[in-house]
Amino acid sequence: MRVAALQYDTLWEDPLADFERLVPWIDTAAQANSELLVLPEMYACGFSMNTGVVAEPVDGPSTEFLRRQARRTGMWICGSLPELAEGEDRPHNTLVLAAPDGELSRYHKIHPFSAAGEDQHYQAGEALMTLEIAGVRVTFSSATTFASPTFSGRRRLAPTATWWLPTGPSSADTTGRPFSVRVPSRTKPTW
């Protein structure tokens, strides 16, 4: 599996401007034959606690952007966003994964980052998300979930900005194909 991870300077609380800035980098990942593109946490608005301004409804503009780009490029694309479901008081920090056919999957961050006050503004999720992409089982989570001592009884890991974890080949994959990750710089994408 070829994975592209994009880290960039998000324009604070300005999703429409971020969408415009992201398209050329998404195209670069697609031209490099990436199968999965991982965007940063709160990819379209920054890690804002101003939920009254940044929270979006389920299937709001940031989700639809991911869906459109996945369909257009044929890649799986994910990034998190502040998603407020109808009838809820606080949003989730939700990783949305858009498949090339436009189907969506969601992971609600289980352990909001208390040192930044995220736990005061966002509600916690309940479960990891694991699915198969290009013959590889992938578990989506957040850095603070992996840093938690309660993470499935596994040893404590150092926090990272990673939203995904390859968990092994699928039962259908007998090739043992390796996967690669290429991380671009903040100012100039390289794949």
Q: What 3-state class would DSSP assign to 149?
A: coil
Count of C-beta atoms within a 10 Å radius of residue 93: 26
| CA–CA dist 95, 107 (Å, integer) | 5
Mean pLDDT of the chain: 81
79 bridge partner residues: 96
- What's the alpha-carbon Rg for the chain, to the nearest Å? 16
Confidence of residue 143 (pLDDT cuts 50, 70, 90): low
- The 10s digit of each residue's pLDDT in 104-117 is 999 999 999 888 89
Positive/negative CA dihedral, 2, 31, 10, 54: negative
Residue type, 166: P
Q: What 3-state class would DSSP assign to 132?
A: strand
- The 10s digit of each residue's pLDDT in 11-43 is 999 999 999 999 999 999 999 999 999 999 999
If residue 30 lies in a helix (H) or strand (E), which one and from where to where? helix 15-31
| CA–CA dist 21, 8 (Å, integer) | 10
User: Topology of domain 2-126+174-182, per CATH?
Assistant: Nitrilase/N-carbamoyl-D-aminoacid amidohydrolase (3.60.110)
Confidence of residue 134 (pLDDT cuts 50, 70, 90): confident
- The 10s digit of each residue's pLDDT in 65-96 is 999 999 999 999 999 999 999 999 999 999 99
- For 102, residues 6+ apart whose C-beta sits below 8 A from its C-beta are 67, 70, 71
Mean pLDDT of 6-10: 88
